[in-house]
A and B are shown apart, each in its own frame.
Chain A
Amino acid sequence: MRKTCSFDNVLKVLVLVALPVVFFLGTICIGRYPVSLGEVLGCFKAFFTCDMGAVSQQTYAVVMSIRAQRALQGLLVGASLAASGACFQSLFRNPLVSSGMLGVSAGSGFGAALSIIIFGTTVFTPGFSFGFGVLAVVLAYLVGKIAGGSPTVTLILGGTIIQSIFSALLSLLKYLADTETQLPAITFWLMGSLASTKTSDIWFAGIPMVLGMLGMILFRYRLNVLSMGDREAKTLGLNVGANKIAVISCATLATAGAVCVSGVIGWIGLIIPHICRMIFGNDNKWLVPASISIGACFMVLVDTICRTLTAGEIPLGIVTAIVGGPFFIYLLKKTKGGGW
C-alpha cells in the first residue's frame, strides 16, 4: 500500500512540474505571429548556446524579447498570488480569504496611482506600488497588535480597516487625477495586465516573488499546525508569533511583487487554492506547491486569452473572473465541495 502511495506522489510531482512548462511553451507558440514548437525550442537553444542555427532573427525577437518574458512574468505572478492565497487561508483559518487579505492589493493600487499622478507612467510605478503594498500589510499588522498580541481576528480586522483606508485614498487620487491621461492609466493599471512586461520588471519583481514562494514552500508544514488556531499551535510547541510573521512576510513579498508589475488581479488568490484543495486535499504539504503550479498555468492561460481573443488587449482581471467563475462552479458540482 505504501508503495502505490509513493508512486502516486511521484506522479503528482511530475504533473505539477510539467504543467507550467507545457503552458509556458504553449503560450509562446500562440499569437498573431505564429511560431511552431520546434522554432520556440530552437530559440531557447540559441539563447543558451549563442548559435542562431535555423532560427530567423524575427522569430527570435518575438519569442525571446516579447513572449517568453511575458510568459515568465505570467507564471510568476499567477504562482505568487495563488500561493499567498493558500497560505492566508490556512493562517486565518478562513476559506474565504485571498491574497489581498491584509491590504497588499489596496496598498499597491494606491502606490501605483500615486506614482502615475506624480511622475506619469514610468519605471517608478512598480517600486511605488511594491512599497505601498508592503506598507499596507505592516500597518494592518500594527493595527492588529493594538488589541494585544496578534490574534487572528484582530489581524483580519486590521487588514480590513487598512484596506478600506487605502481604497478611499485611491478613490481620492482618481477623483483628483487628470481625466484625459492619468485617470485612464490608473484605471487600466488597476484592471491588471502583463502587456508592458520589461526585463527590468522581471528582475525587480521576480526576486521578491521567488523568495516569497520559496519561504511559503519551506513553511508549509508549519502552516498546517498554525491552521489549528493560536491556542492549539502554541500548546503543540510552536512559537506562534514568530511563525505567523514569517508566513505573512513571505506571502506579502510574493503578492506585492506580483501586484506591482501586473496590477490588481482578483480571483486567482481565492479560487486557485480552492481548486487545488478539491484536487490535492487540504494538507499544505501539497496545497502550497500545487497552488504555485496551477496558479502559474491559470495565469498564463488567462493572459493568452487576453492577448489573442481580440485585436486589442483585454484586462486580465476581467478574464480571470469570467473564466475562473464557471470553472469553479463546475468543480464545485463535480466534487460537491469535498475538498473542505
Chain B
Amino acid sequence: MALLTVKDAAFSYRSKKGVEKHVFDGIDFSVERGEIFCIVGPNGCGKSTLIDCLLGLNKLEAGDILIADKSISEFKARELASHIAYVPQNHKITFGYTVLDIVTMGRTYEQRVFEPPTEEERDYARKCLSLVGLSGFETRDYSKLSGGELQLVLIARALCQKADVLIMDEPTAHLDFRHELNVMEIIAKLVKEQQISIIMATHFLNQAYYLENAGVNTRVALMSDCHFGMIGTPSEVLSEENLLKVFNIVTEVASTKDGERKYIIPLYNEK
C-alpha cells in the first residue's frame, strides 16, 4: 500500500475577487516505501506550492492528500509531523544553537508543552547525526557550519522526526559540486538502508539520473502547464524529446565511458 497518495489535487491562489492565479490541477500520484519521487519542471510551474500543500501549509482547492487512508486536512500539526518531515530550501539562521539542539527539535511533536527533550531523544538525535555522517558535530555551533554541513544537519533533523516521508525542496541549492554529491550520496544511502521515502523538488535533472544509477527506486514527475505531464523512471521521463517539449531546450542524454551511468547535458535553446 502506498505511504502517501495524492488524488486529483488542485490549487489556486485566491483573493476576494476570485481566482488570482491558477497553480495546478489534476495532480495524481502516490509514493511507496523506499522510493524517491522527484518533481522537476520549469521555474514557477508550481513545485513549491505543491510541496507546501503536502506539508499542510497550503490547503488544496480540490482533491485530497491521503496518508494511511486519512486526509491530511484532518491531521493536527503534531500528527502530521510524525508522518511527514520537511527539509527546507532556505533555512535562515538567526541564533547559533548547537547542532544537537537543532537535530533534537525533530522530536518536538512528541513532547508535551512544557517538557524538555529527554536524554533518549538526544541519543536518537545523535544516531540521526551519525546517519548523515556528522558524528562529532554535536556541540558545534550550527550557524558556523558550511552550507553542505547545514543541509545535512537539517536532513538529520527531519530523520529525527521518525517520519515515513521526507519532503525536500531543492536539497542542494547553493551547494558546491562536492557537497552536492555528498548530499546525494547520503540521500541514496538513507533510502536504500533506512527504507524511508523522499519527495524531492529539484532543478538538477542529473540528480534523478544519479539516484537511478545508484540503484535507488526513483520516479520522476515532469511538471508543466499546471499538470504532471508524465511520471516514470528518469530514463523514461527525462528524455531528449520530453525536455524539448517542457523546457524548450535541446539536450543530449549520454552515458559514462563504462556505460554504467547515464547523464544529461543541455546543448542549446530551441529557437
Q: Measuring CB to CB, which residues of chain A are less than 8 angstroms from any residue of chain B? A: 89-90, 93-95, 218-219, 221-222, 224-225, 227-229, 231-232, 234-240, 277, 281-283, 285, 339-340
Contacts and interface: CB of A to CB of B under 8 A. Distances in A.
Contact of A232 (B91, B111, B143): B91
B94 A94 contact: yes
A90 B113 contact: no
B88 A231 contact: yes
A237 B91 contact: no
Given A231-B57, A235-B81, A282 B95 contact: yes
B140 interface: no
B82 interface: yes
B102 to A, nearest CB: 8
Interface of B: 55-57, 76-82, 84-86, 88, 91-92, 94-98, 101, 105-106, 108-109, 111, 113-117, 143, 161
A228 B55 contact: no
Given A221-B114, A221-B116, A237-B108, A283 B98 contact: yes
Given A225-B108, A235-B85, A238-B108, A282 B96 contact: yes
Contacts of A282: 95-97
A225 B81 CA distance: 13
Contact of B97 (A224, A229, A232): A224
A222 B115 CA distance: 9
Contacts of B117: 221
B105 A339 contact: no
Given A224-B105, A232-B86, A239-B77, A339 B114 contact: no
A160 B76 CA distance: 33
Residue in B77, B92, B115 whose Cβ sees the most chain A Cβ within 10 Å: B77
A281 B101 CA distance: 12
11 contacts: A95-B94, A224-B97, A225-B108, A231-B57, A231-B88, A232-B86, A232-B91, A235-B55, A237-B79, A239-B76, A240-B77
A231 B108 CA distance: 14
A234 B77 contact: yes
A270 to B, nearest CB: 15
Contacts of B113: 218-219, 222
A283 B97 contact: yes
B42 to A, nearest CB: 24
A235 B86 contact: yes
Contacts of B109: 236-238
Contact of A93 (B86, B92, B96): B92
A237 B101 contact: no
A81 B230 CA distance: 58
A281 B141 CA distance: 10
Contacts of B57: 231, 234-235
A110 B211 CA distance: 63
Contacts of B78: 237-239
Contacts of A240: 77
A236 to B, nearest CB: 5
A98 B154 CA distance: 29
Contacts of A219: 113-114
Nearest to A2: B119
A19 to B, nearest CB: 23
B108 to A, nearest CB: 5
Given A237-B109, A238-B77, A285 B95 contact: no
Given A221-B116, A234-B77, A285-B116, A229 B108 contact: no
A145 B80 CA distance: 25
A53 B161 CA distance: 62
A225 B114 CA distance: 13
Given A90-B95, A232-B86, A232-B91, A237 B116 contact: no
B82 A237 contact: yes
A148 to B, nearest CB: 11
Contact of B77 (A228, A237, A281): A237
Contacts of A281: 96, 98
A156 B167 CA distance: 30
A38 to B, nearest CB: 41
Residue in A228, A231, A234 whose Cβ sees the most chain B Cβ within 10 Å: A228
Given A235-B55, A239-B76, A221 B94 contact: no
A340 B105 contact: no
A79 B64 CA distance: 49
A237 B97 contact: no
